[in-house]
Amino acid sequence: MADRPNFLFIMTDQHRADWLGCYGHPVVRTPNIDALAGQGTRFEQFFVASPVCMPNRASFMTGRYPTVHGLRYNGCTLPERANTFVDVLRATGYRTASIGKSHLQPFTDDEPFGREAADPGPVEEAWTPEPGTYTKEEPGRYDAQGRYAFPTPYYGFDHVDMVTGHGDRAGGHYRQWFREKHADWQDLTDRANELPHNYTCPQAFRTPIPEASYPTAYVRDRARDYLQAAAGGEDPFFAYVSFPDPHHPFNPPGKYWDMYSPDDFDLPVRYEDHRNPPPPLTHARAQFETGEMPPIPQTGFMATDQHVREAMALTAGMITMIDDAVGDLVQTLKDTGQYDNTVIVFNADHGDYLGDFNMLLKGTWPKDAVTRVPMIWSDPADRTGRVSRALASTIDLSATILDRAGTTPYFGIQGQSLMPAIGEGASHRDGVLIEFNDSGRRMGFATPARMRAWVTPDWHLAVYRGEAWGELYDRRSDPNHCNNLWDDPAHAGIRADMMLALTDALIGQMDESPRSKRLA
């Protein structure tokens, strides 16, 4: 087992692909992540299975789509009986660690929003309750002094250092550590004590938390501790290091707050640039014109040009702080003699509209800004820099890691190994499926939205359950999705072909596991 590689898998939260220097961003500085790309394969066309945190993270862990693995929307749970690729690695002798944000179970105890509960009958749910508990990430677990003894294995991880939430309000083991480190922790997390600033965009908050105590630094330091302890071990490791940033709120600490100026940024496309905006966009525009904000802070909304620029500048600060942490982690591998036997992967769980058509955050509308994410694979077997335009999906990551580790995935995995595309630049998929299931009524939908998208190198199709409208965009000539061709007679044939391809993909969304067995 000693000749099998280690894995350092780095994930960021709500980080669109084109917000890295190596993906062509003209302002944000990410030299350490760019260096990974310069010594590995950077995927240009890598898409999420779902453009929100929990479903896509569960797809990463299982190699299966949300409708198959069961964590269909934020606030749901990944069943504890689900196997993950980390379970497979662990079964073959890998040491496994999750450091940072996991979000495979809810980390709030809030009641559902925008979904009226039916009166329960004598049998309340379609499934009988599982024997496991799904409160391991909820805030109540971390209220006590000391450190919550996290039960493991947790979806295959033997070592767990949990961070829940985001920014100055992050919880989990981080919050327990923060309370012990800072006697004035309540003052440091009181929004009334924010540092002076002149930003006015929603969710911009200048935290007094020192850089060294901010969640990004905490994840970096705990990951460095793990990598240092792993040095010299007989068995290889898989370390999942998951930063809660650059997810909103917009609150980079210390020098990262004013590292960038809003004047450095501009909007790529404004609301007025869309020739025939779809209903979710027109709904956001109507809210913007009346000054109405969504009832929960995670919902996408429209903002002024200035507010978008401010959000961009603060997001850039959060990204550069992560980049500095990535540099420290890579250096730790080098200092401990592990770099030459460690595959380093950089990825994100989903993107952010971040100014496209004046929108911020994420939501039902599956524009590339929220569905296309960075994916960089730096392999000690070949540190040659290359770019792959192969279409790939989050569900492919687990199969790829298992392939590189020299082991076989379980029956029912839907992902396909990217190793041929990494090594030779080969094609991978003809199209990618993207699912979105909302847990409540948002962005103008009368019922919780159900969206399915099919993306090819040339076209982007999105359909919505119960809606007469849909979307079709030419990705070559209209990369910003400014002209919806859904109702264009000249593109009726393309629309039909894309609908057939989507239908074929949806027919395949059946759980093949467990494999049927003939009784003796």
Could you read off the pLDDT of 77-110 as tens digits, one per residue? 898 889 999 999 999 999 999 999 999 888 876 6
Q: How far apart are the first and last CA of the chain?
A: 38
- Please tell us whether the domain made up of 6-113+131-424 is placed in CATH 3.40.720.10: yes
For residue 426, pLDDT beyond 60: yes
The residue-averaged pLDDT of 460-478 equals 97
Q: Output DSSP code: residue 204.
A: B
Which stretch of DSSP H or E encloses residue 375? strand 375-378
- Distance in angstroms (rounded) separating the CA atoms of residues 50 and 514: 24
259 exposed, middle or buried (CB, 10 Å; 0-12, 13-18, 19+)?
middle
The pLDDT value given to residue 2: 42
- Distance in angstroms (rounded) separating the CA atoms of residues 405 and 398: 11
Q: How many residues does the chain have?
A: 520
Q: Is 344 helix (H, G, I), strand (E, B) or coil?
A: strand
Dihedral sign (CA 208, 212, 217, 218): negative
Q: Is 434 helix (H, G, I), strand (E, B) or coil?
A: strand
The residue-averaged pLDDT of 18-33 equals 98
For residue 119, pLDDT beyond 80: no
The per-residue pLDDT for range 342-395, each reduced to its tens digit, is 999 999 999 999 999 999 999 899 999 999 999 999 999 999 999 999 999 999
pLDDT interval class at 111 (50, 70, 90) = low
Share of the chain above pLDDT 70, in %: 96
The pLDDT value given to residue 125: 78
The per-residue pLDDT for range 270-298, each reduced to its tens digit, is 999 999 999 999 999 999 999 999 888 88
pLDDT interval class at 475 (50, 70, 90) = very high
For residue 411, pLDDT beyond 50: yes
Q: Is 362 helix (H, G, I), strand (E, B) or coil?
A: strand
This prediction's pTM: 0.96
The per-residue pLDDT for range 222-274, each reduced to its tens digit, is 999 999 999 988 999 999 999 999 999 999 999 999 999 999 999 999 999 99
- Token duo for residue 57: 């993270």
> Radius of gyration of the chain from Cα atoms?
22
Question: Domain spans of the chain?
Answer: 6-113+131-424
Residues 6+ apart with CB under 8 A from 87: 153, 155, 156
Position with higher pLDDT, 138 vs 471: 471
